Structures are given as structure tokens and as C-alpha cells.
Chains A and B, each alone.
Chain A
């Protein structure tokens, strides 16, 4: 598959052979289950998240079919309530974040000039947990036991006495299970970006996409514990008669909301931030220049990741908290739009100074700007408590967050798919198919969601499985439903385009876009070791930079070839000064086994088989012990002796 068959200057044929020997994994079933290659894991994240996206999207289509006409009977209320809950939960937890983690997994090591993630086995473990947790949650749907309380699962409706059955146990346990994957992935991104950057890639030369992923990872690490706490308390309430959220037993129902939104608002940015990172990564190739205002954008990313922890109460503006508290959170929620404004105008300036190459990825970036800006306006409106109280929990808020999330995450993801498909598969997509897909997705998106602003203002609450015909909501709902089919058709064309590219696409070559970041100096698809020579980075746009290119050819040095073992380079956190060569782990079954044992644990908890759960905990401990048991290796190899 590789397109670089000739030996580049500066590296010997024997070095290449040794690198291949240390890094290549055999094509076998065993290798498929044991791989620790970040590119394979990244691809799996992308494919699995896309699969869950299809399930969640089909749920939405069925719901739109039900809502196309007033008082229609396509779905029972029980079915509708499970579908809207699974739609939201899956889109947020099983599609958006894992999809963007998939891009991060594939791209971060390539963009920073490393040969893998910092913890390759943890990475594999994270994927398996994500897969199992996703299947765990979706498997409940055929049994009629899927979560049915909305993605934010408010108390006390999530309590056993109001919501018997397994529905909310699936929710609590599924998200706890998934949280293990997200947390381990986030830690891996942080360490990778801080320790594995190519020499010379000081912090002011780190690609914006990597900044976005790292900021996201920090948000995950700080936000997720609140959600995990919430779900653990919920499970205790439901199964072991604690009363954290039961006012009858001295509990407090708003505690659920506080904990949920302390996680939930940063989560909005956890979803959108990597999307914004993709936009910053795509633009240079299609404007033929770097993004304007790199320091401003980095500052904006960091500011958002901090301020996003101080706005959660704007999700609770109708709960009757004190006005003083509202005025504070209203101010914070107003201010947080400014870093996004800076980024929007930086991208606009980039487009106004560069030369536009109007290919499919850029079309999706333009679609992103139009859509995300509209979602931003309504977002700023929601920061004002009085307005929020009128339109929250109506279809207006449904319109708002679909503009933000489809605009801020889906459009960038689609831009990223067309942009990096040549890198991931080595094949080009069909431009005509891509353009058709864009126009259908763009049109479908706005036809579906724009009318929701209106019938929200006309008084239609969200999460209703049906509505009466005499309230002025009929026409808008019908238009939305038609739009959703157009949107689905566009997304189907994206899928067809990807399959077509893999089957029939012409070879892309290493750098079809003349891109600026390091992934474009690797082969397409990249070798198992990514870079025969780890580059020495001299600028923010290393692939456009002669000196960086030279460092991997005539300027290649032994300390950046590292062919004596499965090695990559550790560098210092701020300036990326070389520290030492690190030995990377071999493939292993242990990540899969550990994820499997955890699946047994969570399933046993769900079904109330507590002795099995205890046994599973012991198995988890044993697997972790086996995983972490120090191998017998010479000191020199593990880097103790120098």
C-alpha cells in the first residue's frame, strides 16, 4: 500500500528493514486482537463511532417520521422516549467524543512527529472499553430496556420508584463504563502531546489541532469525575436504597443537575473544541497560508477550556435559584462567546488573505462557519436568564444545540473525513460525490433545524412524542421531517464516497493537499513506524519548511532514526529538547482481556448478579497486576542506565 518505495536519502536500507522488523505487526487474527498501533486504533474509533452515529441517526429519522404529522401513531410514547434518550446519549457519548478521539488517535502522533501514543496498550484498552460500553448500551434497545429519561436523566424521574426496570441502570452503568475509556484516552493525549513531540516542536510550534485535543483532554479529566459521581450515586439510589436524589429521604434533586452540568457544560466544548481544531488544521491547505493569529487562537482554546467550568448554571435558569447566582452565571455565559468569536474572525481573516482552493473539505468548513455562527447567536441569547426562561426546554433550544453541535462538530468531522481520508487509506475520494454530499447535508441540516427555532417560539416543548394539530406547529414539523431525510441522504453519500474511495479511489500520494503539518510528510497510509526519521521541527508549518524536510533526508541523524528497537523519542515538555529514546510496548492481549472482564463486571451489576461482579473485580485486579508486572529487561533497555 505504501507509496514511498524508494529509500529516502539519509537513512540506510538496513535501518528501514530493522524499523519494519520492530514495528510491523503480522496480518493475523491474533494481531487484530492484540494491536497497539495508534493508527489502527484510531481507524477503529472512527469506524465504530460512525456505526453508533448511524444507529443514533436512524433513531432520529424514526422520531422525525413520528413528528411529521400531529397525533401520529408511528411510535408508542414508551418507544419514542427510549429513542430520544438513546439518540442524545449516543450522539454525545458514543459518536461525537469517540469520533474526535479517533481523529486524535490517528493524527496526534503523526502531527507531532512521534511513532505512537505515549501509552499504546492503554490506547488499545480505551478502544475496547468504548466498543463494549457502546454495545452494552445499544443492546438494551431490542429488549425495550433502553434509557428513557433524556440524555441528562433528571432526578427524581431517574429513581427506581418513578422509573422501574433496567432503563436507568443501563444509563448509569453504561456511562460509568464508557468513562473509563474516555478518561484513559484523555490522559494518553496529554502525556503524548507533552512528552513525545519531535525535537524542536516547542509549544509555540504545536499544531492548533493538537492544542485543541490537549485542552479537550484536560477538560475531560476535570469534568468527567462529576458525571461519574452522579451516576455512581444514582446506581446506589436505585439498587441499595440510598437517598442522594430522593427528597423523601432527605436527598436533593438539584444535586443531580449541578453535578450533571458541571460535567455537561464543559462537555459541549469537549465536543466542539476538537471540531474547531479540525477547522484550524484544514484551512492552511485550502487557503495556502497559515491560520491568522496563532497565539490568539491558542489563547482562545485555553480560555474556553477554563471558563467552560464556570457556566453550568445556565442550564438551570428555570429551576428558581437566587437571582444573584443567575446574574453571575449569565455574565460568565455571555463572556465565553468571545473566544469563539476570536477564532471565527481569525478563520475569516485567513480566508480573506489566502487563496481559496474550493474542494470538499473547505466547503464543509464554510458550512461550519455559517452554521456555527448561527448557533452561537442563539447561544449568546441563552446566556440571558430572562430569555432562557422563555425558550429553554422548547424546540428553540433543540434548534440551538443542533446548530452548535452539527455546526461545530459534524461539519468539521466531515471536513476532516474528506481531508484525511487520503492519509488514512492512501486513496482519494471522488470530488463530485463529495460536493453532492456537502450540498445535501448543508441543505438538509438547515431545512431540518431552522424551523425548530420558530415552532419553539410558538410554544412547542421539546421531548413530546406527539402534538395537537391546532397549535400552529404542523407545517414547521413537516418541513423539519422532510429536511431530516435530505440530511440522511447527504450522509449516505458521505458513506458511499468513503467506500468508493477505498475501493476505487486513485492513490493519493503522501501529500495530496500540499498540507503544512507533519502528517503530510509521512507516507499514505503511514508506515507502522510513521516516520523513518523523526524530523527536527523548525517552524509552525514543518511540511512547508525546507529545513525540517532536510532534517529527515540529508540531515538525518542516528538519534532520530532509532532503529535498534521499537523506539520513539521523549522530549521536554515546553521546548521539546530531546531527552531519551523510549522503548514502546509490544502488542498484547491484556487490554482486550481487561476490557472484557470489565464488561462482565458491569453486566453482572446490571443483572444484579453481585457475586459474579465481585469475582469480576478480582479478575480485573489480577489482569491489571499481570499487565503492570515489570518485565525482565536489562536496565539499559528500560532506560535506567544511560
Chain B
């Protein structure tokens, strides 16, 4: 629960859809220890993933039926064609052609038609003037910007509930892949090119996404969260993106800000409204409110934040941030300041 700090209560599971398969599904879920936090494609919460979920169950039941047929034929042979069975030398070409080519052809053509319909549905993005989020992949984190807004955030994509939001994908370095199993299938981020996809969440909540294209040492720690909010909350979030970051309120926070801006931090990170304007690492203007540190590597709390600043290489080996020579006496102030940035 710590990592996916839910911003709103989880929607009730839509078990109604799964009724015909409940017994089987419950076994499967039990087997995988599936809890409410699993970013499962079988628990879709958006239009894109719901499409594919329907397709999956169609394919699943066809597979079950054909597998039962093959196993029945195999079992029949194993039971009746052993011991003293007399070898028959016929060439049942018609059986092979019908069962192996004819029937599969009919099934496949039908399934292909359904698949084509779903492909078209996934391709039907939002209109021209839809809200556009720009997501830029970095090794190994996600930069998130909104069209027309100056500020940026990282590893957290806020969207309004029930609206189809355009997502424009670019990468700063190698290939990545944008995947939110409960909302939308993958779209790759291609070096030197721009790709588009969209997100639409039916209900308020947080949906985990993760990079799905191998992108180097820390591919395992390149997760993000899609936070679907009521429109008013979302608008408030957008407005904060244009405003300076929260100013320090206490002495400790003020000392922390000084350390940040005058020390090595500002060389790579920026905080709006301060002298810190580095562009290498994530913008930290609202870091205190984020769900995790290091794109899903560890929970965002004071202890982990301190450990990350001192030596993030022990937490996420290979990431771009070198160990920081921050004076042990100043570290608590720095942590207090960063935690205050909401």
C-alpha cells in the first residue's frame, strides 16, 4: 500500500462482467495472490483496456473449446489405440483438412474481424482540441508536461475522470514503452519521433503504469502513476503547475531551500520560483506530494528520501544521480524542505 498512495478510494471491482468465469478466475487470482493493488489488465478501468479485456475473454473461451477438442482426440487415441488395436491404413484427408484448416479458418476470420474492430477503437483518439499531456521518457523516469503550462512533474500523470486525454510520447534517449494495463495498451516511445495515444479513466483513482520496453540497467524501476481526478481537482492541479512552488515556511525549510539552491542539487533539478533551474533530472516543484521516489523504486517518505539523496546508487544502481556530499547536519533540513513541496 505504501507505494501506491491512493488518492481516492478504489472503485468497487466490477465482478458482474466476470460472472461466467468466476470459479476459474477466482482460482487464477488466488494462484497469483492478486490483491486490489495489482495493475491487472483483467480489471480494466478505462475504455481502451476494457476493449482488450473483452477481446481476451473471447479468445480465451475459443482456446478452451479448441484445446478440449484436441485433448479429447488425444485421449481417445491413448485409451483405444493401444495394446491389441489393429492398425488402420486409411488417409482421412478430409478430416485433417476440415479440422485442421477449414474450421480454424472460419474461426480465425471471425476473430480477425473482431480484432480489427478493436484496433480501430483503440485508434480512435480524442478530438483535436482535447487536453494534451506530453510524456517524455528518460532513463529511467517519466517527465510529464501539459500543453500550455510551463511547469512539469514526473512519474505521475494527472488526468480528469471520464475525459479522453491525448498523450503525446517522446523520448529523450532510448526506446521506452508507455503501458497502463488497467487503462490503455502499450505505445512505444521512439527515439527521434513522436507517438500519440490516449487515456480515459472511468472512475477516480490511481492506476499504475510501467515502462514495457527494455531500456537499460534500471528498466525494472521505471514506473509511473496515472491519477484520475474530478475535473475541479484536476484544474487546481494544473493551476499549481503554473505557479511558483510552495515557499518555505519554517527555518528548517528555509535552510533546506538554501542548501538545495546553492548546493549541487540545482545543477540538475529545478524548483519553480527558485534559482534551481537544472534540466537533467526531474522537476521537484511538487516532489513532496508524489507517490514514490525513483519512478517506483521506493516509497516517498523522509527516511527513503534521505537515503536517496545520500546515495541513490544503493537504491537504484546505475541511475544518473551520483551520491551527494550533503553535510549530515544539513540533510534533515533538506528533507524537510523537499517534503514541504506539495
Which residues from chain B contact A390 at a C-beta distance below 8 Å?
41, 49, 52, 56, 181, 185-186
Answer yes or no: A384 CB below 8 A from chain B CBs. Answer: yes
Q: Which residue from B74, B173, B212 sits with its C-beta under 8 Å from A348?
A: B74
The CA-CA distance from A208 to B248 in the complex, in Å, is 78
Segment at the interface with A among B14-22, B78-86, B280-288, B326-334: B78-86
Answer yes or no: B39 CB below 8 A from chain A CBs. Answer: yes
- Known interface pairs A345-B99, A356-B82, A373-B70; A320-B195 also in contact (CB < 8 Å): yes
Answer yes or no: B147 CB below 8 A from chain A CBs. Answer: no
In the complex, the answer to whether B55 meets A387 with C-beta atoms within 8 Å is yes
The CA-CA distance from A77 to B187 in the complex, in Å, is 25
In the complex, the answer to whether B185 meets A337 with C-beta atoms within 8 Å is no
Q: Which residue from A287, A323, A334, A471 sits with its C-beta under 8 Å from B208?
A: A471
Which residues from chain A contact B190 at a C-beta distance below 8 Å?
253-254, 319-320
Segment at the interface with A among B111-119, B155-163, B234-242, B262-270: B111-119
In the complex, the answer to whether B175 meets A154 with C-beta atoms within 8 Å is yes
- Known interface pairs A387-B59, A470-B4, A479-B31; A393-B115 also in contact (CB < 8 Å): no
The CA-CA distance from A366 to B83 in the complex, in Å, is 17
Per-residue interface assignment for chain B, residues 174 to 214, with 1 indicating a CB less than 8 Å from any chain A CB and 0 otherwise? 11010101100111101111011000000000001011111
Q: Which residue from A289, A342, A358, A393 sits with its C-beta under 8 Å from B101?
A: A342
Q: Distance (Å) between the CB of B25 and the closest chain A CB?
A: 10
Segment at the interface with B among A8-16, A103-111, A449-457: A449-457
In the complex, the answer to whether B96 meets A296 with C-beta atoms within 8 Å is yes
Which residues from chain A contact B32 at a C-beta distance below 8 Å?
451, 454-455, 458, 472-473, 475-476
In the complex, the answer to whether A78 meets B318 with C-beta atoms within 8 Å is yes
In the complex, the answer to whether B70 meets A348 with C-beta atoms within 8 Å is yes
Q: Which residue from B86, B185, B296 sits with its C-beta under 8 Å from A389?
A: B185
Segment at the interface with A among B87-95, B249-257, B271-279, B300-308: B87-95
Which residues from chain A contact B67 at a C-beta distance below 8 Å?
373-374, 377
Answer yes or no: A518 CB below 8 A from chain B CBs. Answer: no
Which residues from chain B contact A386 at a C-beta distance below 8 Å?
51-52, 55, 115, 118-119, 121-122, 185
User: From residue 388 to 407 of chain A, which have CB atoms closer than 8 A to chain B?
Assistant: 389-394
Greatest chain B CB density within 10 A among A150, A154, A348, A391 is at: A348
Answer yes or no: A81 CB below 8 A from chain B CBs. Answer: yes
Closest to B179 in A: A461
In the complex, the answer to whether A467 meets B186 with C-beta atoms within 8 Å is no
Answer yes or no: A554 CB below 8 A from chain B CBs. Answer: no
Which residues from chain A contact B71 at a C-beta distance below 8 Å?
370
- Known interface pairs A458-B40, A470-B3; A337-B104 also in contact (CB < 8 Å): yes
The CA-CA distance from A337 to B101 in the complex, in Å, is 9
Main secondary structure on A side of the interface with B = helix
Which residues from chain A contact B341 at a C-beta distance below 8 Å?
none
In the complex, the answer to whether B123 meets A323 with C-beta atoms within 8 Å is yes
Q: Which residue from A292, A384, A458, A467 sits with its C-beta under 8 Å from B118?
A: A384
The CA-CA distance from A253 to B215 in the complex, in Å, is 13
Answer yes or no: B37 CB below 8 A from chain A CBs. Answer: yes
Q: Which residue from A320, A370, A461 sits with its C-beta under 8 Å from B187?
A: A320
Per-residue interface assignment for chain A, residues 138 to 170, with 1 indicating a CB less than 8 Å from any chain B CB and 0 otherwise? 000000000001100011110000110000000
Closest to A467 in B: B220
- Known interface pairs A369-B74, A472-B32; A459-B88 also in contact (CB < 8 Å): no
Q: Which residue from A341, A385, A459 sits with its C-beta under 8 Å from B104?
A: A341
In the complex, the answer to whether A352 meets B76 with C-beta atoms within 8 Å is yes
Which residues from chain B contact A330 at a C-beta distance below 8 Å?
112, 115-116, 119
The CA-CA distance from A289 to B86 in the complex, in Å, is 11
Per-residue interface assignment for chain A, residues 343 to 366, with 1 indicating a CB less than 8 Å from any chain B CB and 0 otherwise? 111101101111110100000001
The CA-CA distance from A85 to B74 in the complex, in Å, is 37
Q: Which residue from B191, B208, B214 sits with its C-beta under 8 Å from A253?
A: B191
Answer yes or no: B120 CB below 8 A from chain A CBs. Answer: yes
Answer yes or no: B97 CB below 8 A from chain A CBs. Answer: yes
Q: Distance (Å) between the CB of A205 and the closest chain B CB?
A: 16
In the complex, the answer to whether A334 meets B108 with C-beta atoms within 8 Å is yes
Q: Which residue from B31, B96, B212 sits with its C-beta under 8 Å from A342?
A: B96
Per-residue interface assignment for chain B, residues 31 to 49, with 1 indicating a CB less than 8 Å from any chain A CB and 0 otherwise? 1111101111110000001
Closest to B51 in A: A386
Q: Which residue from B37, B82, B100, B211 sits with its C-beta under 8 Å from A461?
A: B211
The CA-CA distance from A579 to B84 in the complex, in Å, is 46
Closest to B186 in A: A318
In the complex, the answer to whether A77 meets B108 with C-beta atoms within 8 Å is no
- Known interface pairs A334-B112, A381-B59; A156-B88 also in contact (CB < 8 Å): no
In the complex, the answer to whether B112 meets A346 with C-beta atoms within 8 Å is no
In the complex, the answer to whether A458 meets B175 with C-beta atoms within 8 Å is no
Per-residue interface assignment for chain A, residues 29 to 45, with 1 indicating a CB less than 8 Å from any chain B CB and 0 otherwise? 00000000000000000
- Known interface pairs A327-B119, A390-B181; A320-B188 also in contact (CB < 8 Å): yes
In the complex, the answer to whether A466 meets B220 with C-beta atoms within 8 Å is yes
- Known interface pairs A318-B188, A369-B74; A354-B119 also in contact (CB < 8 Å): no
Q: Distance (Å) between the CB of B302 and the closest chain A CB?
A: 20
Number of interface residues of A (CB under 8 A): 92
Answer yes or no: B325 CB below 8 A from chain A CBs. Answer: no
In the complex, the answer to whether B92 meets A349 with C-beta atoms within 8 Å is yes
- Known interface pairs A393-B186, A454-B28; A352-B73 also in contact (CB < 8 Å): yes
Q: Which residue from A157, A331, A373, A380 sits with its C-beta under 8 Å from B215?
A: A157
Q: Distance (Å) between the CB of A396 and the closest chain B CB?
A: 9
In the complex, the answer to whether B173 meets A475 with C-beta atoms within 8 Å is no
Answer yes or no: B216 CB below 8 A from chain A CBs. Answer: yes
The CA-CA distance from A338 to B96 in the complex, in Å, is 11
Answer yes or no: B219 CB below 8 A from chain A CBs. Answer: yes
Answer yes or no: B66 CB below 8 A from chain A CBs. Answer: yes
Answer yes or no: B311 CB below 8 A from chain A CBs. Answer: no
Per-residue interface assignment for chain B, residues 116 to 138, with 1 indicating a CB less than 8 Å from any chain A CB and 0 otherwise? 10111111000000000000000
Answer yes or no: B77 CB below 8 A from chain A CBs. Answer: yes
The CA-CA distance from A454 to B31 in the complex, in Å, is 9
Answer yes or no: A326 CB below 8 A from chain B CBs. Answer: yes
The CA-CA distance from A64 to B17 in the complex, in Å, is 35
Answer yes or no: B7 CB below 8 A from chain A CBs. Answer: no
Which residues from chain A contact B63 at a C-beta distance below 8 Å?
377-378, 381
Answer yes or no: A26 CB below 8 A from chain B CBs. Answer: no
In the complex, the answer to whether B175 meets A338 with C-beta atoms within 8 Å is no
In the complex, the answer to whether A392 meets B186 with C-beta atoms within 8 Å is yes
In the complex, the answer to whether B175 meets A345 with C-beta atoms within 8 Å is no
Per-residue interface assignment for chain A, residues 460 to 494, with 1 indicating a CB less than 8 Å from any chain B CB and 0 otherwise? 01111111101111111001000000000000000
Answer yes or no: A76 CB below 8 A from chain B CBs. Answer: yes
In the complex, the answer to whether B37 meets A472 with C-beta atoms within 8 Å is yes
Which residues from chain B contact A432 at a C-beta distance below 8 Å?
none
- Known interface pairs A346-B96, A381-B59, A465-B220; A355-B3 also in contact (CB < 8 Å): no
- Known interface pairs A377-B67, A472-B37, A474-B33; A459-B317 also in contact (CB < 8 Å): no
Which residues from chain B contact A454 at a C-beta distance below 8 Å?
28, 31-32
Which residues of A line the B interface, CB within 8 A?
76-78, 81, 149-150, 154-157, 162-163, 247-248, 252-254, 287-289, 292-293, 296, 318-320, 323, 326-327, 330-331, 334-335, 337-338, 341-346, 348-349, 351-356, 358, 366, 369-370, 373-374, 377-378, 380-381, 383-387, 389-394, 451, 454-455, 457-459, 461-468, 470-476, 479
Given contacts A289-B88, A320-B195, A386-B55, 11 further A-B contacts (CB under 8 A): A288-B87, A293-B93, A318-B177, A342-B100, A380-B59, A384-B119, A387-B52, A458-B181, A459-B38, A472-B40, A473-B32
A-B residue pairs in contact (CB < 8 Å), sample of 22: A154-B213, A248-B192, A253-B192, A289-B89, A318-B212, A330-B119, A334-B111, A337-B104, A342-B96, A345-B100, A349-B92, A351-B77, A352-B73, A352-B77, A381-B56, A386-B122, A386-B185, A390-B185, A393-B213, A464-B220, A470-B2, A472-B37
